[in-house]
């Protein structure tokens, strides 16, 4: 007697069929319905680690800035050389995180807030690398006037103030990004105006310094130092602009806001 149709629906050559297989109904293991959620959670975890590594790059900049400012105040050529040599750490961090982001993008297609964060981190990395280069530029200027340059202490004091403000901006840009704090990011533009004012003041000191050629040469080098510090502040402001982009999805230049 041939088997009934009901028997055909429940078996294939005598093997029972699992009606829920492939539809998220079999709780014996991961299902196709669960997999996208797990993949997204893994992506966000990886992205969070890359963000932490990126912000750690700003910690490296703070270390470099502290050392180059100390070298500048004491005209310490050996310490300046250490800053130059240590730039490899900043470059290595840039390459490491940049490659990590590209590898992550090859596996996942981020959308909305995740995509904004990925784009912002690429910009942050660029600014970190540039700030590291500016620290190196300052360090390379220190030995040019010799071991006993004809320093002007009033100019070194102005540069110390400028360096302290640039450092403060880097620290604040890091905190603003980590907290997604737009108000903290917007305050960077106010601080940057102080750096720009000191930059102009140092330039004025240099052109009024006198006729001694060695002193004038040293002052020209210090103008370049001031310019490098001013650029570090600008890059910190640019990181603040990325905070606003991540939070709102809109890009705006913080210096153009009418509240400043």
Q: pTM score > 0.85 for this model?
A: no
Select the more confidently predicted residue: 195 or 27: 195
Supply the pLDDT for residue 36: 62
pLDDT at 16 over 50: no
Q: What is the mean pLDDT of residues 8-34?
A: 45
Phi/psi of residue 151, each to 5°? -70, 155
Q: CB under 8 Å to 85, separation ≥6 — which residues? A: none
Confidence of residue 15 (pLDDT cuts 50, 70, 90): very low
How confident is the model at residue 148, as a pLDDT? 74
Which of 65-69's residues contact partners 24+ apart within 8 Å by CB, and which partners?
65/131, 65/135, 65/163, 65/166, 65/167, 65/170, 65/232, 66/167, 68/135, 68/138, 68/139, 69/160, 69/163, 69/164, 69/167
Beta bridge partners of 11: 16
Average pLDDT, rounded, for the chain: 84
Q: How far is CA 144 from CA 141, 195, 218, 231, in A?
A: 6, 24, 8, 21
Q: Is 145 left (phi over 0), alpha (psi -120 to 50) or beta?
A: alpha
Confidence band for 76, pLDDT divided at 50, 70 and 90: very high
Say what the pLDDT of residue 81 is: 95
pLDDT value for 21 = 45
pLDDT at 61 > cutoff 50: yes
- For residue 150, what pLDDT band results from cuts at 50, 70 and 90? confident
Beta bridge partners of 15: 12
Q: Can you tell me the distance from the alpha carbon of 246 to that of 258, in angstroms, rounded to the nearest whole number?
A: 21
State the DSSP code for 15.
E
Least confident range from 57-66, 102-111, 193-202, 236-245: namely 102-111
Q: What percent of the chain clears pLDDT 70, i.e. is strictly above it?
A: 82
Residues 177-184: what's their mean pLDDT? 95
Q: At how many degrees (to 10) do helices 77-85 and 112-141 cross? A: 150
Give the whole-angstrom CA distance, residue 142 versus residue 63: 18
CA dist., res. 179 & res. 168, Å (int): 16
Number of Cβ within 10 Å of residue 149's Cβ equals 17
* Length in residues, the chain: 260
Q: How confident is the model at residue 34 (pLDDT cuts 50, 70, 90)?
A: very low
pLDDT digits (tens, 9 = 90+) for 81-133: 999 999 999 999 999 999 999 988 887 777 778 889 999 999 999 999 999 99
43 and 114 in contact (C-beta within 8 Å)? yes
Q: Which residue in 170, 159, 178 sits closest to 237, CA to CA? A: 170
Q: Mean pLDDT throughout 3-29?
A: 45
pLDDT score recorded for residue 255: 64
pLDDT at 6 over 50: no
The two structure tokens encoding residue 74: 């004491």
Please name the helix (run of DSSP H) or strand (run of DSSP E) that holds residue 11, with its range, or none: strand 11-12
pLDDT at position 35: 63
């Amino acid at each position: 007697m041939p088997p009934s149709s009901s028997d055909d629906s429940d078996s294939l050559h005598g093997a029972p069929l699992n009606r829920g297989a492939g539809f998220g109904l079999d709780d014996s293991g991961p299902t196709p319905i669960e997999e996208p959620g797990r993949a997204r959670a893994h992506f966000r975890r990886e992205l969070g680690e890359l963000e932490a590594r990126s912000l750690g790059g700003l910690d490296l900049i703070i270390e470099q800035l502290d050392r180059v400012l100390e070298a500048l105040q004491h005209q310490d050529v050996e310490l300046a050389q250490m800053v130059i040599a240590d730039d490899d750490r900043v470059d290595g961090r840039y390459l490491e995180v940049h490659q990590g982001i590209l590898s992550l993008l090859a596996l996942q297609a981020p959308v909305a807030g995740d995509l904004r964060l990925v784009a912002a981190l690429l910009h942050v990395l660029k600014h970190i690398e540039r700030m590291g280069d500016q620290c190196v530029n300052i360090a390379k200027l220190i030995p040019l006037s010799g071991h006993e340059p004809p320093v002007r202490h009033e100019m070194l004091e102005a540069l110390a103030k400028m360096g302290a403000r640039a450092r403060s901006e880097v620290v604040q840009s890091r905190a603003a990004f980590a907290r997604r704090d737009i108000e903290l990011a917007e305050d960077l533009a106010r601080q940057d105006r102080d750096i720009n004012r000191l930059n102009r003041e140092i330039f004025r000191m240099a052109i009024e310094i006198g006729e001694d050629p060695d002193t004038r040469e040293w002052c020209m080098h210090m103008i370049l130092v001031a310019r490098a510090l001013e650029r570090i502040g600008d890059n910190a402001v640019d990181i603040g602009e990325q905070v606003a982009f991540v939070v709102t999805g809109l890009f705006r230049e913080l210096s153009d806001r009418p509240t400043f």
